[in-house]
Amino acid sequence: MKTRTYRKTPTYRWFFTAALAFGGLTYVPVTAAAQTMAFCALRDPVIQIYELFPEAEGYRSLVRTIGEDTQRLVVDALPFGLHFNELGFHTVYQAIGDSGPIGLVHARSEVGPWGLVEVVWAFDADMSIRGFRFQRLRGTVSREELERELAPVLGGLDQRALEGLVARREDLPVLTPEATEVVDLLVRSALKAIAVTRAGWAP
């Protein structure tokens, strides 16, 4: 496993504040070159990690290839099937606070109703969901609207609670048609991210 650590610098603090103030750095179009990136690549990790973990003072990238033994652990941990092609070369980002690690960021690609959906997950140290955002999403409603509607539904859930949603859809609150169409994808994506992270990066 390869590890690289980054620290938030005073220059970055100014840059990040300006980016948020002017709102010009929250989205980068996907170019042809970007499409050749890793299947689960996190775009603009510096901006995304510090938005998801504003209290972080740095972050560490943890890179590894998920081998066959780890793949079996992932499959066994999930309440639904998983194609081995969904696993391979992965990078997980560990957010670091003043006293040590405070959470993880894991990007996943899923096949959605309108094409490929890229989801960035933020997990607290206990692997419960701190937040998420769509990195790529096609559809009739904006990603911001879906994030606002679904964030309170998924925030704070751990693996057991997510598995409950897979088994009992009636536990979900009433959602708009667009949100209902994508919530199954999100629940399964979160469970995959948790299972892969635990199997691949557990102590």
Our count of domains for the chain comes to 1
User: Three-state secondary structure along 76-111?
Assistant: HHCCCCCCHHHCCEEEEEEEEECCEEEEEEEEEEEE
Contacts (Cβ under 8 Å, ≥6 apart) of 5: 58, 59, 60, 61, 96
Tens digits of residue pLDDT in 131-188? 999 999 987 778 898 898 889 889 999 999 998 887 777 667 677 777 777 888 899 8
At residue 129 the predicted structure's pLDDT band, cuts being 50, 70 and 90, is: very high
Q: Answer whether residue 54 shows pLDDT above 90.
A: yes
Range of the domain at 126: 2-201
pTM over 0.85: no
